[in-house]
Structure 1
Amino acid sequence: MKKAELVFIPAPGMSHLVSTVEVAKLLVDRDERLSITFLIMKLRSYSKIDSFIDSVSAASIRFRFIDLPEDEPDPNNPDNALFSFVETQKPYIKEEVSKLVSLSDSSPGSPTLVGLVLDMFCTPMIEVANEFGVPSYIFLTSGATLLGLLFHIQALHGEQKVDPMEFKDSGAELIVPCLANPYPVKVLPSFLLNKEGLSIALAQARRFRESNGIIVNTFEELESRAINSFSNGNTPPVYPVGPNVEPQ
């Protein structure tokens, strides 16, 4: 049996790392051919993260963790610090992926890289996956309803030029496919009702559409309407993998 390898790229931070590892455990439990490499971005060193990685590594030989260089976010763009930091990591990600591909090509017993699984905040790495000709998947730590709302807002903004900020203090309602009832615009998540947050959300939704699939921390019985709303072919395939609860 030919071995396969996935590269997971979690966002920096303990909560996203733990959620990513829990999803990875589900995958390796289902296929003995699969191994997973985690490329770890760090805004700064945290002993708790290091201890967690050590414990996971000791428990599974099919998990490997690679620390990337610690660059600083752009100090001139504090409101967009996470995204600017992720951009600085792209060359390091590309270098590590290149090593994996080279090893697979030169050693018949090495696993074949079959895809990149990207945290919801790591969408710039879609370009790295495209460069190496492998699929990219988004791991969304939030639920399917939020994903459906983001896609709907992005479609309204792009196709009908609707700006939700215009209705911030009004009684307007949106008909959103992932929701059973009309949604009052004034209670949209706060990040969709300010210029900076809306711009980031729209850009993220556009990048999500470029991926080969979206892994969502939910299950069909909980969000059946939202999950079914993605079946129209206008979005990448959505795969519910939950409930994925962070262990204590």
Structure 2
Amino acid sequence: MMKEELIFVPGPGIGHLASGLELAKRLLDHDDRLSITTLVMNMPFTPSINSYTRSLTASQSRIKLVDLPQVDPPPPELLTKSAEAYICDFVESYIPHVKTTVTDIISSLSNSDVRVAGFIFDFFCVSMIDIANEFSLPPYIFVTSNAGFLGLMLNLPKRHDEISEVAQRFKDGKGIIVNTFAELEPFALRSFSDDHRIPPVYPVGPVLHLKGQPHPEINQDQLDKIMKWLDEQPQSSVVFLCFGSFGSFSPPQVKEIALGIEQSGIKFLWSMRFPGSPSNQFTNPEDVLPEGFLERIEGRGIMCGWAPQVEVLAHKAIGGFVSHCGWNSILESLWYGVPIVTFPIYAEQQLNAFRMVRELGLSVELKLDYRVGGDLVTADEIAKSVICVMQSDSEVRKKVKEMSEKGRKAVMDGGSSFTSITQLIQDITGNN
């Protein structure tokens, strides 16, 4: 029986890579004929990515990782001007390496019982669709965010040059895979099926790495301390504050967050990063926190640098989550039934926050339009939102619990996402 090989090209950066590898594992679980080769681009500010990818795939022998050669990154000033343009330039510099690697892969399989069936490109890598076309292989696009974000990308005005170049290639894919599920975004997904100009859309989520992301500078003693303290807290009594791998704030904003938490009277676990320190790690809190804060909250809260977000959200003591609203974080919180307070910072997080609060009613609004460097979010606003999210009988908490059950059912045999993945595999393998 002929076996099928898929070539994955995840976006650079741990968040995109994690989602891409989890999707790969999900596909392999569905079909024994499949194997996957993943081409890994290493960005200059993600030094831990090699150990991370190895840990993710250690248990799956049918995923092969190929580290692509290093390239010279774009000038750093482009990153401060437009992170999206920086990533797109970085990805395009890899096109010759990807083409050479794919040629080698196809050549190595020419006399075997394995054929390359197609490509799955992260949406930041759609400039590589031309490579798939050169080899007469179907290109599929993986959107690591939600259906609302996909809808925005498909309707971007032309004046947004950096991203519209990406969005314009979406129609060139054989299909678009989205990390969402039908029960979460039914209206957005239905709108795609009504538009014949859009390729088939496959909602396959929630695609999550539920074992948590390893960290190169993990402090096991600190981790044990965090989990032991959570074990001692009543159920749903602690609010967790965590703002992603790039989630650091100015000292004045840090002080407002601290005062807001203190004012709320709620127990808390706060993962705080500092720009410029290794991995944005927790260094000298006394330099930015209100005077006497650590003494006043002793026993009521814990502050740390990196925190194991998945393990924390899964803990019975966690009752609320103040989040930057990255899509992976939202899906993790929904999986564990933990309602979110929205504190978006960058990228598409403002869109995610708006959808979660205004459209889906699954989050408590703190801010929908905050960006780093904008007006301060005040302590009073923070305290009010934290108190609101921790109410045990709130409508938001009830809705989140219901959506958690729907998300878990979606990926089970017979669920909406399970069925969508089955259809995706059939379409990919039947395209040649």
Q: TM-score, normalised by structure 2?
A: 0.46
The 5 A counterparts of 1:85-234 are 85-105=90-110, 107-109=111-113, 111-154=114-157, 198-231=160-193, 232-234=195-197
* Shift of residue 61, structure 1, vs aligned partner: 1.0
Task: Say if 2:208 is the partner of 1:245.
Answer: yes
SS of aligned partner of 1:220: coil
Q: Relative CO higher for 1 or 2, CA cutoff 8 Å, sep ≥ 6?
A: 1
Provide Cα deviations, 1:158-196, integer angstroms capped at 9, x if missing partner.
Answer: xxxxxxxxxxxxxxxxxxxxxxxxxxxxxxxxxxxxx5x
SS of aligned partner of 1:5: strand
Task: Say if 2:80 is the partner of 1:83.
Answer: no
Contact conserved, 1:43 with 1:72, CA < 8 A, in 2? no
| Whole-angstrom distance in 1 between the partners of 2:29 and 2:197 | 31
SS of aligned partner of 2:168: helix
Contact conserved, 1:139 with 1:214, CA < 8 A, in 2? yes
Contact conserved, 1:9 with 1:40, CA < 8 A, in 2? yes
Provide Cα deviations, 1:65-98, integer angstroms capped at 9, x if missing partner.
Answer: 0001111223287132211111110011001111
SS of aligned partner of 1:108: coil
Contact conserved, 2:3 with 2:33, CA < 8 A, in 1? yes
Quick one: structure 1 residues 104 and 142, their matched pair in 2 at CA, closer, same or farther if it must change by over 3 Å?
A: same
Residue equivalent to 1:14: 14
Contact conserved, 2:42 with 2:49, CA < 8 A, in 1? no
Provide Cα deviations, 1:182-212, integer angstroms capped at 9, x if missing partner.
Answer: xxxxxxxxxxxxx5xx112322221011111
| Whole-angstrom distance in 1 between the partners of 2:60 and 2:185 | 32
What one-letter code is carried by the residue in structure 2 that aligns with 1:150?
M
| Whole-angstrom distance in 2 between the partners of 1:220 and 1:57 | 28
| Whole-angstrom distance in 2 between the partners of 1:42 and 1:73 | 10
| Whole-angstrom distance in 1 between the partners of 2:89 and 2:155 | 26
| Whole-angstrom distance in 2 between the partners of 1:202 and 1:234 | 17
Moved more, 29-38 or 52-61: 52-61
Unaligned runs of 5+ in 1: 158-194
SS of aligned partner of 1:121: helix
| Whole-angstrom distance in 2 between the partners of 1:122 and 1:84 | 10
* Shift of residue 49, structure 1, vs aligned partner: 1.8
Quick one: structure 1 residues 101 and 74, their matched pair in 2 at CA, closer, same or farther if it must change by over 3 Å?
A: same
Contact conserved, 1:213 with 1:239, CA < 8 A, in 2? yes
Contact conserved, 2:44 with 2:73, CA < 8 A, in 1? no
What one-letter code is carried by the residue in structure 2 that aligns with 1:240?
P
Between structure 1 and structure 2, the one with the greater Rg is 2
| Whole-angstrom distance in 1 between the partners of 2:156 and 2:99 | 32
| Whole-angstrom distance in 2 between the partners of 1:125 and 1:236 | 17
Contact conserved, 1:141 with 1:217, CA < 8 A, in 2? yes
* Shift of residue 148, structure 1, vs aligned partner: 1.3
* Shift of residue 46, structure 1, vs aligned partner: 4.4
| Whole-angstrom distance in 2 between the partners of 1:123 and 1:77 | 24
SS of aligned partner of 1:59: coil
Task: Say if 2:60 is the partner of 1:60.
Answer: yes
SS of aligned partner of 2:90: helix
| Whole-angstrom distance in 1 between the partners of 2:172 and 2:86 | 23
RMSD after superposition: 1.7
Quick one: structure 1 residues 237 and 42, their matched pair in 2 at CA, closer, same or farther if it must change by over 3 Å?
A: same
| Whole-angstrom distance in 1 between the partners of 2:161 and 2:65 | 33
SS of aligned partner of 2:8: strand
SS of aligned partner of 1:69: coil
Unaligned runs of 5+ in 2: 213-432
Contact conserved, 2:141 with 2:175, CA < 8 A, in 1? yes
Provide Cα deviations, 1:50-71, integer angstroms capped at 9, x if missing partner.
Answer: 2222223421110000001111
| Whole-angstrom distance in 2 between the partners of 1:120 and 1:104 | 27
Provide Cα deviations, 1:2-39, integer angstroms capped at 9, x if missing partner.
Answer: 11111111111111111111111110001100000000
Moved more, 72-81 or 60-69: 72-81
What one-letter code is carried by the residue in structure 1 that aligns with 2:102?
V
Residue equivalent to 2:198: 235
